[in-house]
Amino acid sequence: MAAGSHSNAGEERAANPGHGEANRRLKYISLAVLVVQNASLILSIRYVRTLPGDRFFTTSAVVMAEVLKVLTCLLIILLQKRFNLKETFLFLLDSILFQYKDTLKLAVPSLIYTLQNNLQYIAISNLPAATFQVTYQLKILTTALFSVMMLRKSLSRVQWVSLLLLFAGVAIVQVQQEGNKEASVANDSDQNYTVGLVAVVISCLSSGFAGVYFEKILKGSSASVWMRNVQLGIFGTALGLLGLWWNDGAAIAERGFLFGYTDMVWCVIFNQAFGGLLVAVVVKYADNILKGFATSFSIIVSTVMSIYLFGFHVDLLFTAGAGLVIGAVYMYSLPKAPGGSLYPSASSSSSASSSASSVLPRADGGGELEAFLPKCAGKEKGS
């Protein structure tokens, strides 16, 4: 049977020589999109949070991103239902209200994701973009550990070694940053490195747990990743509004929900809202190695751009630490020998995705991408 399938695949390639070239081109496009999304979100948040003038409320930005994400997923579901409003309404009613027990399962990861999104703003506001990008790769370590504990997944020796290298690389970067902290505090008196570091560590822990928990829910349900994102978004919007009222309620009542919003702030919000959804489509053409390479390359891009945009200083210690992290990310994404792996395939789980994903989890892998298209458009298996 396997030999026959290989033969058929070979015949198909021979009959369609342009197919392999098209796939190769799509992989390069996927790589570019993943790198740009990974690097641009972090750099743009850092840029808008360090500009002089009125500062927008990050809690309102988190809520706005959730609202846009929900609207986008609703549009995708509507597209899947061929723009049949009645069928779409009944589907949403059944999925969200009638199956309320299933919906309530999403309350926990939604709370964590909302906390994580707010923490990322705090972390990037207080840490250099390159330092955040390197340190945030600890989410790979937390995701792996939670996967082992909660999903009973196994890691290869190479993956365990890569996690040790990852931790060592982040530690070296923190030692380097500790040496430069006095100078950075003198230049940026409104930034607190310790607050940023605590925020990114908590964000990594929450990202790992929520991603694995969400994967567990996805595997135990027939609901599409888009429906899950609608459910998450409903809770996320409500919890985000609660956090907004708790933290900035009085100030927003006085100045307005959109206070401090500029074109660049809107770009950040759109990137945050649509970045993860875009990655969900893109990873259809990307395997784990490509995603690992994209994450590594985005660290380099963030570092280089930080030098030009923010005057970030790169010395030998930072280069060594970042190099270890980049190597570890790539090693971790390498295929595992038969007998089990952390992520069974290149498309198995939202928790294995990059940042995005990490800044934008949920719809960044592990979904049924055929849900993006009307059913008549094709039955190709999605990632």
Cβ–Cβ under 8 Å, residues 210 and 357? no
Classify 378 in phi/psi space as left (phi over 0), alpha (psi -120 to 50) or beta.
left
Q: Could you report the per-residue pLDDT of 205-237, keeping only the tens digit for each? A: 998 898 888 777 777 667 777 888 898 889 999
CB under 8 Å to 372, separation ≥6 — which residues?
76, 79, 80, 226, 281, 382
**Domains of the chain by residue range:** 28-377
Specify the pLDDT at position 294. Answer: 79
The model's pTM is 0.75
What is the spatial distance between Cα 163 and Cα 336, in angstroms, rounded to a whole number?
15
Specify the pLDDT at position 220. Answer: 65
Cβ–Cβ under 8 Å, residues 195 and 76? no
What is the spatial distance between Cα 42 and Cα 359, in angstroms, rounded to a whole number?
8
Per-residue pLDDT of the chain (383 residues; tens, 9 = 90+): 444 444 444 544 445 555 667 777 777 777 788 888 888 889 999 999 888 888 899 999 999 999 999 999 999 999 999 889 999 999 999 988 888 888 888 888 889 989 988 999 999 989 888 899 899 989 889 988 998 998 888 888 888 999 999 999 999 988 877 766 545 544 555 678 889 999 999 999 998 898 888 777 777 667 777 888 898 889 999 999 999 999 999 999 999 999 999 999 999 999 888 876 776 666 666 666 677 777 888 888 888 888 888 888 888 889 999 999 999 988 888 776 654 444 333 333 333 333 333 333 444 333 333 333 333 333 333 33
What is the spatial distance between Cα 56 and Cα 259, in angstroms, rounded to a whole number?
6
Specify the pLDDT at position 279. Answer: 66
Extended beta strands in the chain, E state: none
| Chain center to CA of 155 | 22
What are 5's two structure tokens?
């399938």
CB under 8 Å to 55, separation ≥6 — which residues?
49, 260
Q: Could you report the per-residue pLDDT of 306-326, keeping only the tens digit for each? A: 888 888 888 888 999 999 999
What is the spatial distance between Cα 283 and Cα 221, in angstroms, rounded to a whole number?
21
